[in-house]
Amino acid sequence: AQTVTQSQPEMSVQEAETVTLSCTYDTSESDYYLFWYKQPPSRQMILVIRQEAYKQQNATENRFSVNFQKAAKSFSLKISDSQLGDAAMYFCVTTSGTYKYIFGTGTRLKVLA
């Protein structure tokens, strides 16, 4: 069964600095998607970035970028120029089969002013 591991329960970053959140996953599938979702205190789940496994190029969305290492099954999220509004729980997610999504346990990011 597919699993997603986020080994950092909590991270802190100074405002304007850069932080990297780690994620590893286990899958036997050749075609899958990877996502990072953000859940602020409002608990609304917000998509941050997505990556198709067949694409070698790392996805980028403004200050957010990923380091996708397919052979190592690693999918880390880098947040540049951190802002107070980035404080949230971050979930790494992979697809499983045709319909399912597997969530990691999350990393709580604190941004220090």
Judged by CB under 8 A, the residue of 28, 30, 44, 56 near another protein is 44
Distances (CA, A) of 91 to 22, 57, 63, 105, 113: 10, 21, 17, 7, 23
Q: Shortest distance, CB of residue 16 to another protein, whole angstroms? A: 27
Interface with another protein includes 57 (CB under 8 A)?
A: no
**Phi-psi category of residue 16: left, alpha or beta, with phi > 0 → left and psi -120 to 50 → alpha:** left
Nearest residue (CB) to another protein, 6 versus 81: 6
Question: Applying CB under 8 A, which residues contact another protein?
Answer: 32-33, 35, 42-47, 50, 91, 95, 98-101, 103-106, 108
